[in-house]
Amino acid sequence: MSKLLPKSAKVVVIGGGVAGCSVAYHLAKYGWKDTILLERDQLTSGTTWHAAGLVGQLGASATITRLRKYSLNLYKELEKKTGLSTGLKQNGAITVASTPERLQELLRQATAAQLFDVNVESVNKQRIKELYPVINDDDILGGVYMPEDGQADPIGVTNVLAKAAKMEGAQIFEKTPVEKILVKDKKIVGVQTKFGKIDVLVNNAGINDGVGLANGTYEKFIQSLHSNLIHYYLLAQACLPHLIKTKGSIVNIGSKVAETGQGGTSAYAASNGGRNALTREWAVELLPHGIRVNAVIVAECYTPMYDKWIQTLPNPSETLSEIENRIPLGKRMTTKEELGAMVAFLLSSKSSHTTGQLIHVDGGYVHLDRSLI
């Protein structure tokens, strides 16, 4: 599951290009850990992805030169830190002048750059031709050669900065467009995103892991509760402030095992019993907020995980046929579309007066007397 967008942050950086990721990294590095970056699509999906990626150190001012040298060193440092590549290739660069004024300016910049240990060489026309034989030097007077300049992959640089930012504590959210800048008393106080609210929560993750009474251990039993029950509570708790605002709904997915038993799966049975109990408990607790809470109980539904289990048995086809024959309605399994339709119904306004219910979508598997069918 994707992490939830926090309700507040010290800094919000809008845009996941190379500049945005650099800002997020440096803020986090220098102590502003409560920094989040919001990208409307994916990182580098804006102008960054088609940038040239030129890495040059010579600038019109001493400040720009220092920043460019810092960037070059930073790329090398962060490659080691993150284990990712910036695609940096230091194949050198030549800047040429065709007028005396331009040449004088380049030489001035080169002199200033040397004060910051930038590797720069003043070159005449002949040296330029040696370095780049195919150049047309008819109007060239001279220039400067920067042997450590080169080119980097803009996407690679951005990904390196993004990973480094997260390593320093910043959070990055993709597919999160900012729709509005919130202003109060002529000051920016926040942003409104497309995903700024939560209307529903469907708790659906779990696995029948076979932790039984005879073969289980304390550690395995507790781990199974974490895999099948505790995250239901944690997700509901995390979403609760948003659900209160929207008067939303919760649907918990449960299993027949809580009611019928299965054998050899104590932890899973306990977890599903807990899901049913939480459904009723939350329905009561959240009544003042108008939040409805229901559960959909599944008996037999053929999923990829179910298929993986059935294939481990000696006679999978025969066993599957036996299971289907025990299902009263239609002698078939419930489809995932039927389960999805019930979940959608419970989350919709059509079930606006339904809460605290355990709805069995199981073809009569749990409650009908199959000996009479």
Residues involved in catalysis:
268
- Which of 185, 163, 195, 200 lies closest to 6 in space, CA to CA? 195
Hey, what amino acid is at 277?
A
Distances 66 to 95, 115, 213 between C-alpha atoms, Å: 18, 10, 67
The pairing of beta strand 11-14 with beta strand 187-193: unpaired
Question: What's the CA gap between 140 and 131, in Å, rounded?
Answer: 14
The pairing of beta strand 11-14 with beta strand 150-151: unpaired
- Which of 199, 180, 166 lies closest to 348 in space, CA to CA? 199
Question: What's the CA gap between 287 and 290, in Å, rounded?
Answer: 5
Q: What is the torsion angle, in degrees rounded to the nearest 10, for the CA atoms of residue 213, residue 217, residue 219 and residue 225? A: -10
Whether the Cβ atoms of residue 118 and residue 58 lie closer than 8 Å to each other: yes
Give first-to-last CA distance, the chain, whole Å: 42
